[in-house]
Structure 1
Amino acid sequence: MQNDSLIDSESACIEPGEVSAETANRTWMHQPNPLESDDSFVQKMIDADSMAKIQKVLDRAIVSARYAVKSDRRPPVLTPTRWVWRLAGFYHLCHSTPQLMEEASQRFASAGRKSLAEWATQKGREETGHDRLALLDIQSMGYKAEAVVEALVPPAAKALVDYFTESAHDPDPINCVGYSYTAERLGICIGEGYIQSVEALLPPHIKATRCLRVHSAISSTEVGHVKETLAMIAGLTLEERVRVAKACYQAALLRFSPPKEAYISDREIQNVLKPLELVNN
């Protein structure tokens, strides 16, 4: 993937080639077309009634977004300094979730949408405290964690939090479902191999992948969260599922798009971090 605050390998387990989806009456194939409107592609693909088929629909939306991002730009090579930058991004994404999901739950409840309200409340509870894992990781890297996340707000993380905030504040916050599914679905594409490759870059005896591990395929909890969300989506109306798929596409676009400006350099990050080093580090 191309978003410097996130994980390079996140799209690896969702094949970015031709995507097929079986429905009750037919099997169709799709070659992603960036000129195809969001409405047309989601309307054509949402006619399945099982979780497996719904997952194909949502995954196709994510893959289509990956194809729509036509850029040869690649993020800089991961370094210990850049890992702190990414940890700051993880913090901001995790920190926003409990409050925004509670706000979404209240709006769903006011509209009498019980299953969505219960899902959003549970999602907020599940994510509570995950921002602390990112802070612990940053501290393990030798920095004053609270000061780091105040000083570093990666644009990619900000764009996602802004989208999530807008979705939660909408009178109908159903886009939060697509946002959440996309984040967790891409998360479970991260395996032990990638985590070990990150740890190999860090100084010896430094453990700074707590947050990453919790949001990866090695976390049975994270895998379960994806299944729970799919089960909830299966009970939604066709119109609601269309909106969820569109939100998956929109959230994935944000995750896969490179920043509009140049990637921040290691030197720029180091200039921010130097005054924030822990004493006796």
Structure 2
Amino acid sequence: MRNDFLIDTESACVVSDEVAVNTANCTRVHQPSSVESGAGFTAKKVDTDSIAQTQKHLDRAIVLAWKAVKSNSRPPALTRTRWVWRLAGAYHSSCHTSRLMEEAAQRFAASGRKNLAQWAVQKAREEAGHDRLALRDIQSMGYDAEAVVQALVPSPIKALVDYFIQSVQTTDPIGCVGFFYTAERLGTFIGEEYIQSVEALLPLGTHATRWLRVHSSVGAEVKHIEETVKVVAELTPEEHIRIAQACYETALLRFTPPKEGYISDEELQNVLKPLELNTCLRV
């Protein structure tokens, strides 16, 4: 699972060249009209225009979620200590992904949806070992990584993981396509400038942005988005709507601040202090 929890959500707005549709009920995603369905959402013909229309449809769902949240709450400023907290979230977002996507592939295959099964298998392979990247980053920060991820389970990540599990463990796991699209689409807004701003906060010689680089535009996120959109463009209008709904629901979870508020740096330091390693154990 791609976890864009590592970026500040106020800077993660998706820009679409179509204005988001105003709805009276923000829990509903805009559904394509008969004209849109015929022109851009046909399962029989996939060309450049239909691919572009498909991406606009999915991006619109994310924009609607952004507008629906309308929160004045902002994450605390990033510090070295808070970066460890975010890396713990990265670990929890990644540790179940390959297994869940293998399960999704089996469910897609059982329903005769070969393309989606292949897509899920590919995702399982792409995500393999990313939890270990997060652990290495935490250890590079000077902490017992296994102990840190046991002690820190950010609530926003738990909500996302629970949603991901539910989207997979159903008869039709098509919601996981929207889940992945949203995570990877937001990841494309993480560039070298942001990564360097994180590295500037860290002690010299610390290598704690490996997970972040993989899940950014510097990594393969742009390519992954292109691949997913092509697969979605081949699906039916009804499937497009369900995937867009999952994009919307995933984005809501991403953009909504934790109800209990953000943990303070002082609280984090109290948790992390006993988990410090000798400097010679950092990697």
User: Normalised by the size of structure 2, how large is the TM-score?
Assistant: 0.89
2:26–2:64 contact (8 Å) kept in structure 1: no
CA distance in structure 2 between the aligned counterparts of 1:140 and 1:260, rounded to whole angstroms: 31
Q: Which has the higher contact order (CA 8 A, sep 6+)?
A: 2
CA distance in structure 2 between the aligned counterparts of 1:237 and 1:53, rounded to whole angstroms: 13
Relative to 1, partners in 2 of residues 1:102 and 1:135: Cα closer, same or farther, differing over 3 Å?
A: same
CA distance in structure 2 between the aligned counterparts of 1:200 and 1:20, rounded to whole angstroms: 34
Q: C-alpha deviations, 1:98-142, integer Å up to 9, x for none?
A: 011111111111111111111111101110011111111000000
Unaligned runs of 5+ in 1: 22-28
The residue number in structure 2 matching 1:231 is 230
The residue number in structure 2 matching 1:35 is 25
Relative to 1, partners in 2 of residues 1:9 and 1:119: Cα closer, same or farther, differing over 3 Å?
A: same
Relative to 1, partners in 2 of residues 1:280 and 1:193: Cα closer, same or farther, differing over 3 Å?
A: closer
1:103–1:168 contact (8 Å) kept in structure 2: yes
SS at 2:218's partner residue? Answer: coil
Size of the aligned set, in residue pairs, is 267
CA distance in structure 1 between the aligned counterparts of 2:140 and 2:236, rounded to whole angstroms: 46
Q: C-alpha deviations, 1:211-260, integer Å up to 9, x for none?
A: 000010111x2211111101110111111111000100000000000001
1:191–1:217 contact (8 Å) kept in structure 2: yes
Q: Which amino acid aligns with 1:267?
A: E
Relative to 1, partners in 2 of residues 1:10 and 1:55: Cα closer, same or farther, differing over 3 Å?
A: farther
1:8-87 counterparts in 2 under 5 A?
Answer: 8=8, 11-12=11-12, 14-15=14-15, 19-21=16-18, 29-33=19-23, 35-38=25-28, 41-44=30-33, 47=37, 48-49=40-41, 50-87=50-87
RMSD: 2.0
Q: Does 1:243 align with 2:242?
A: yes
Q: Which amino acid aligns with 2:74?
A: R
2:13–2:66 contact (8 Å) kept in structure 1: no
The residue number in structure 2 matching 1:208 is 208
> Aligned residues: percent identity?
62
CA distance in structure 1 between the aligned counterparts of 2:102 and 2:243, rounded to whole angstroms: 18
The residue number in structure 2 matching 1:24 is none
Relative to 1, partners in 2 of residues 1:269 and 1:254: Cα closer, same or farther, differing over 3 Å?
A: same
The residue number in structure 1 matching 2:196 is 196
2:20–2:64 contact (8 Å) kept in structure 1: no
SS at 1:38's partner residue? Answer: coil
1:4–1:263 contact (8 Å) kept in structure 2: no
Distance apart, 1:170 and its partner CA = 1.1
The residue number in structure 2 matching 1:263 is 262
Q: C-alpha deviations, 1:50-79, integer Å up to 9, x for none?
A: 111111111111011000002101111100
CA distance in structure 2 between the aligned counterparts of 1:103 and 1:67, rounded to whole angstroms: 33
Unaligned runs of 5+ in 2: 42-49
Relative to 1, partners in 2 of residues 1:75 and 1:130: Cα closer, same or farther, differing over 3 Å?
A: same
CA distance in structure 1 between the aligned counterparts of 2:10 and 2:126, rounded to whole angstroms: 21
2:4–2:183 contact (8 Å) kept in structure 1: no
The residue number in structure 1 matching 2:119 is 119
Distance apart, 1:35 and its partner CA = 2.4
Q: C-alpha deviations, 1:12-63, integer Å up to 9, x for none?
A: 4622xxx544xxxxxxx44544624515x13449532411111111111101
User: Normalised by the size of structure 1, how large is the TM-score?
Assistant: 0.89
CA distance in structure 1 between the aligned counterparts of 2:103 and 2:167, rounded to whole angstroms: 10
CA distance in structure 2 between the aligned counterparts of 1:31 and 1:62, rounded to whole angstroms: 12
Q: Which amino acid aligns with 1:111?
A: S
The residue number in structure 1 matching 2:179 is 179
CA distance in structure 1 between the aligned counterparts of 2:211 and 2:10, rounded to whole angstroms: 15
